[in-house]
């Protein structure tokens, strides 16, 4: 159950960051990254294990990478512009920060 919870929370955080990063450009990106750090830290804090933070971070990465690739109809949720590049770059840094924050 803990494994499923960590994966679902990570996927939901990734989806929210993907959808928020273009909303009022700098504010949506900052909000999405802050929610990512706090949410993944909270997953590890809930069960006092870093492995659940790692699982949530992997789920976040899967969702964000899927949003950055072309879909069947040619749709693209994370474009290769400044906002999309910053989401992927700073999001990766946010994941590392969230994983290594003390529990």
DSSP track, 55-73: HHHHHHHHHHHHHTS--TT
C-alpha closest to that of 29 among 98, 100, 97, 82: 82
Q: Splitting the chain (103 residues) into consecutive groups of 10 residues, what average pLDDT does each group show?
A: 97 96 92 97 95 97 95 90 96 96 88
- Can you state the angle between helices 50-67 and 2-20, rounded to 10 degrees? 40
Give the per-residue pLDDT at 52: 97
- Rounded to two decimals, the pTM is 0.94
| Tokens 């804090």 found at | 45
Going from N- to C-terminal start, the domains of the chain cover 2-100
């Amino acid at each position: 159950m803990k494994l499923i919870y960590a994966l679902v929370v990570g996927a939901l955080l990734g989806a929210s960051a993907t959808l928020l990063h273009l909303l009022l450009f700098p504010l949506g990106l900052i909000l999405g990254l802050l929610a990512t750090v706090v949410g993944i830290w909270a997953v590890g804090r809930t069960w006092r294990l870093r492995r659940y933070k790692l699982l949530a971070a992997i789920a976040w990465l899967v969702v964000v990478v899927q949003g950055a690739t072309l879909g069947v109809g040619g749709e693209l949720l994370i474009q290769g512009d400044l906002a999309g590049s910053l989401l992927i770059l700073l999001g990766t840094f946010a994941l590392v920060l969230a994983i290594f924050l003390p529990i």
